[in-house]
Structure 1
């Protein structure tokens, strides 16, 4: 044995060849500080070992190396710039020293080789991937860029255009695509990986592969003339701006770094990479996106633990109500391999639900993501029925009928009388109290909320609402089922609107107040989309949600939390609703919806909406963008804080993920709590106090005032 560490070892094989094997103590290999140190120690040990002809680098696990240890980033990136620069420069030099070993090196890649794992393969002279491999540089998704030589080696290996596409999108490649683009030298079956890598290594040592020339190419300037460079980088800049916009600095920094480094050798290019990496670690976007990653890990971990604790296995689902929502839920169950019964009171509704599933699958076929076999299998897994008795064998029933407490109560009781004693009953309500609905049931312990978001097949979140009598066995089984359906479950406690809608409606109330004060809804949408970063501004979002739905939900919220959410007099939403302007569902709301000559959807600000709102609003005037953002976001932030303080949601991280997955909160801001923290709690308190006179939704809680005074954090 040449070297043995906790994360990797190096042994001498027959005929003078050696093997470096990554095999960390945990479930996966990561590039944490310990592993980087051990890689450097192993490199030094190899240099001292005489007679080594070549080295194979492989993993003993099902994945090569999944990347850096993101959990270390929070502490590292909190250091000052000089310290971060020292860390990343020293780490990248470890990879340089490995690359400079005086014999050929071959990476044998299985499973994920991402981020630092990909950069490890790039530091080798040759690469063999098996058919399970996924190779890529996803750092952009964390708001940063490769820091261990990726921006230097990959462009010199596969060309600047391909490399920038890899890095600025963060998409990984399967082996065949990586081979076609020149990132790997061969793709083999998993059982042949080690032998193939050794064979390639021996051929390299025998001079059949010009590994020295390959290495020299990675260390030399990019081979681009002036015209090629201008075309390559201007195209990349345009692509990045079109796709990422101005809110995500990382892809822009990558293009800039590769461009500036094009005429430099490895050492000069790495200095630019180090500097770019450090600059990005100090951006709000990186802090937010890393926060999202860590919050997502927390949510996934919680979900897995709850699912593991489930005592009831759900084999057959049922959905009551076969409209757009019911059809979407049925599709989601069926497409993930869980048979589902879809029940309604008439065949027209069943046809609507089946058509919803078929339309989703049909669009998937048009994009080449669904084949005929998958379509047939999914539709065959949905059993439409008009008969309640068909539900007797269902393990979990999701009620998705009209959002009316009386109707839901009747339906839930009818279901309870038919299903087995241990069957779980859920309501896909968006606002109605689970405790209230539970009063219709004899066994409230097996009942909870299961709130899907529309469109079901696209929205990742399912809010699981625990009632005061809901058992933990019920929650655990519903979490397990949600995960099997391919969704992210976040468990919250019961209250009007639960978490997502409870924080959304103060945002809508702020919007209504702003319109009453004379703001133009188009201007407000533009600010909230272009500057704050929401996928839809509030007027557009209300049209998508449905103005009738919004008006009804506002009634529910007013009844449940009258001290803050009492109905607004002359609410613009209500004015439009009374005129039967329902939003996208009937083609007219704040905007008018239609299709152009080519059949593409159109959205035009409705003159009718302006006319209807004129009598109840002040004369139109311009509002400062920061004023608009504050008037909409302070109410949302305040209500999110109250949800956390009241125990409706367990952690700030879960609240952030719920808003990200349920509403499309801008990822570069990291969630509503991350937005508050980025501003600083003391600054948030000061900002909110400026608007306190606008009403209760703008007035902060004593809890956040106390936290700000004590310098505390929601993520401590």
Structure 2
């Protein structure tokens, strides 16, 4: 044994070849502080051993190394800048030690080699990948850039343009894609991976591969002349500006770092990388995006634990109510392997549902994501029917008929008569109380809400709503089914609007009142999209939702929370609905929708909408627009947390991120409040208190602000 640590070891094989094994406790290897420390100690010992002629590096697990231990980031990034610089410099030095070993190194990669795992492969001299390899530098998705030498070594290995594309997009690349750009030197089958690495290192030892020249290339300035450099980095900056926009500093600074370091040797380039990594670590965007990662892990872990307790497997499903939403649900169920009956009362709706599923698959085929066989198997797994008898074998039935409590209650009562005694019944409702709907059922314990978001195949969230009488086993089975569908389930308790729509409609109410006070809806949309970061401003979002749907839902919310969400006199949403301006679905709402000469969709502010609203004479600054819309949303989210509608602030943030497209660089509604500072938020809300009850903060929030607390911690 050459070295034995808790996370990795090194042994001497025949012919003077060392085998370095990463083997941490648990299912994956990570670069936590202990692993980095052990890697440094190991390199010191191997460097001093004259018996070693070369080394292979591999993992004992199905994955190589998934990256840094992100759970350590909160504590680390809260340190003063100089201490973070010292940590990152010490860590990246361990990777330098691997690169500086006095013999050739070959890494065998199978499974994930991401972030720090990828950076370790770059520190080695040669790389061989297996068929399951997934290689990449996804730090940008955490608001960061590579910090263990990735911005230095990857450009010198595969070219600056390829490297900047890898790092700015943060995508994973399989072995063949990595081979095509030179990120790996060979791709072999899993069973030949170790033998291939051994053969390669023997060739390097024998001088058949000039590993010293390859190593020297990674440590020298980039080989770009002045014109090539100017063109390369100008193109990269333009691409990043177009794709990332101004709210995400990481890809911008990453490109700047590579550009500035292009004329430096390894020492200078690494020092610059260390410095700029710390700059990003201190940004609000990084805190938000790391927070999202941690919250996502919490939600997924919670879902898997709940699913494991389910006593009922869902192997046959049914959807009641076809059309676009029903077709989307049926597609998502079938494409993930659960045969699904789609029932409706008329053939036209069934045809529309099948058309929706077929359209999604055809788009997938056009992009090369769906094979003809997959399309055929999915469509044959969706069985359209007009008869209740077809749903008798369903383990779960998802009702997705019109958003009307009396209609839903009638349909649910009918369903209960045609399914097995242990079949689970769900309602895909966006606002109607689950307890109210449960009154129509003889066995409400097997009933819950299952709120999908449109378009179903794209939106990750499923809001699972627990009614007063819903059993734990029902919730566990529906969580398991949601996970099987490829969705992220978040369980909430029942109330009108549940979580997502309950916090969305105060935001819409803030928008409506702002428009009544004279704001131009196009100006509001521009601020909320360009400055706050929403994918759609409120007027555009209302058009997408449908003004009829929004008006109906506002009525449900007004009945549920009359003290805060009472209907507004001359609400622009109601005025447009009453004028049969329904939004995108009939071509006109706040905007008019059409296609240009090339057939591309376009929208234009509608003169008809301005005529109905009448007053657009006031001019509000961006800060006022943001405050007047976001304070009501934040206050309602706080109420949902305090009332136990949602279990944690982290889950609420993920629900808004996955259900509404809350700007990721802000991290969610509670992260937004924490970043602003609760005391500052309370002060801001109080300055708008004259606008009504939606702007009144709770006593609980006021107390947290007074005590200097946060909702999410570091």
The TM-score with structure 1 as length reference comes to: 0.99
Report matched runs for 1:136-285 at 5 Å. Answer: 136-285=136-285
Give yes or no for the alignment of 1:640 onto 2:658.
Answer: no
Alignment of 1:394-433 (within 5 A): 394-433=394-433
Secondary structure of the corresponding residue to residue 417 of structure 1: helix
**How far does residue 270 in structure 1 lie from its aligned partner after superposition?**
0.3
Residue 8 of structure 2 corresponds to 8
- Paired with 1:432 and 1:195, the residues of 2 have a C-alpha distance of 62
Structure 2 equivalent of residue 715 of structure 1: 712
Report the CA distance between 1:702 and its aligned residue. 0.3
Q: List structure 1 runs of 4+ shifted beyond 3 angstroms.
A: none
- Structure 1 match to 2:617: 620
For residues 160 and 352 of structure 1, the distance between their equivalents in structure 2, rounded to whole angstroms, comes to 49
1:145-194 superposed Cα distances (whole Å, 9 cap, x missing partner): 00000000000001100000000110111000100100000000011000
Counterpart in the other structure of 2:670: 673
Q: Secondary structure at the match of 1:393?
A: coil
C-alpha separation in 1, matches of 2:496 and 2:346 = 31
Which residue of 682, 693, 696 corresponds with 2:693? 696
Partner of residue 23, structure 2: 23
The residue aligned with 1:489 is: 489
Residues 114-136 of structure 1 show CA distances to partners (whole Å, capped at 9, x for unaligned) of: 00000000000000001100000
Secondary structure of residue in 2 paired with 1:208: coil
CA offsets 1:563-598 (integer angstroms, 9 cap, x no match): 110111110100000000000000000000011111
Give 1:657 shift. Answer: 0.3
Superimposed CA distance per residue, residues 534-564 of structure 1 (whole angstroms, 9 cap, x where no aligned partner): 0000000000000000000000000001111
* Number of the residue aligned with 1:104: 104
CA offsets 1:406-426 (integer angstroms, 9 cap, x no match): 000010000001100000000
The answer to whether structure 1 residue 653 and structure 2 residue 657 are counterparts is no
Q: Give the whole-Å Cα distance in 2 for the aligned partners of 1:394 and 1:26.
A: 38
Mapped to 1, the partners of 2:381 and 2:498 lie a distance apart of 31
C-alpha separation between the residues in 2 aligned to 1:20 and 1:384? Answer: 57
Name the SS of the counterpart of 2:135 in structure 1.
Answer: strand
> 2: CA distance between counterparts of 1:498 and 1:465?
7
Local SS of the residue matching 2:454: coil
Deviation at 1:236, TM superposition (A): 0.2
Distance in structure 1 (CA, Å) of the matches to 2:324 and 2:592: 22
**Alpha-carbon separation, structure 2, partners of 1:188 and 1:701:** 61
Report the counterpart of residue 121 of structure 1 in structure 2: 121
Structural mapping, 1:334-483, within 5 Å: 334-483=334-483
Distance in 2 (CA, whole Å) between partners of 1:587 and 1:492 is 35
Once residues 355 and 172 of structure 1 are traced to their aligned partners in structure 2, the CA distance between those partners, rounded to angstroms, is 33
Q: The residue matched to 1:132 in structure 2 has which SS?
A: coil
Equivalent in the alignment of 2:532: 532
Picking from 687, 694, 699, the partner of 2:684 is 687
CA distance in 2, matches of 1:319, 1:364: 23
Residue 291 of structure 2 is matched in structure 1 by 291
Task: Tell me the residue number matched to 1:565.
Answer: 565
Give the whole-Å Cα distance in 1 for the aligned partners of 2:333 and 2:25: 37
SS of 1:57's equivalent? strand
**3-state SS, counterpart of residue 548 of structure 2:** helix
Q: Partners of 2:312 and 2:369 in 1: how far apart?
A: 33
Give me the whole-angstrom Cα distance separating, in 2, the residues matched to 1:573 and 1:101: 68
Deviation at 1:462, TM superposition (A): 0.3
Extract unaligned runs of 5+ from structure 2.
Answer: none
Aligned to 1:90: 90
Indicate the larger mover: 367-376 or 67-76.
367-376
Q: Give the drift of 1:27.
A: 1.0
SS where residue 113 of structure 1 aligns?
strand
Q: Offset at 1:364? A: 1.1
- TM-score, normalised to structure 2's length? 0.99
Q: Take 1:680 and 1:140, find their aligned partners in 2: how far apart are those partners?
A: 25
Residue 48 of structure 1 deviates from its aligned partner by 2.3
2:627 equivalent in structure 1 = 630
Q: CA RMSD in A?
A: 0.6
Q: Cα deviation per residue 1:94-142 (whole Å; 9 max; x = unaligned)?
A: 1111210100000100100000000000000000001100000000000
C-alpha distance in 1 between matches for 2:217 and 2:349: 64
CA distance in 1, matches of 2:8, 2:490: 37
Report the Cα distance in structure 1 between the residues aligned to 2:418 and 2:138, rounded to whole angstroms.
Answer: 50
Q: Which structure 1 segments of 5+ residues have no match?
A: none
Cα shift readout 1:231-273 (whole Å, capped 9, x = no counterpart):
0000000000000000000000001000000000000000000
**Which residue in 2 is equivalent to 1:589?**
589
Q: 1:67 is matched with which residue? A: 67
For 1:550 and 1:323, the matched residues in 2 are separated by 19
SS in 2 for 1:10: strand
1:73 Cα offset (Å): 0.3
Q: Distance in 1 between matches of 2:583 and 2:650?
A: 32
Equivalent residue number for residue 133 of structure 1 = 133
* Cα offsets for 1:287-345 (capped at 9, x unmatched): 00000000000000000000111111111010000011000000000111110000000
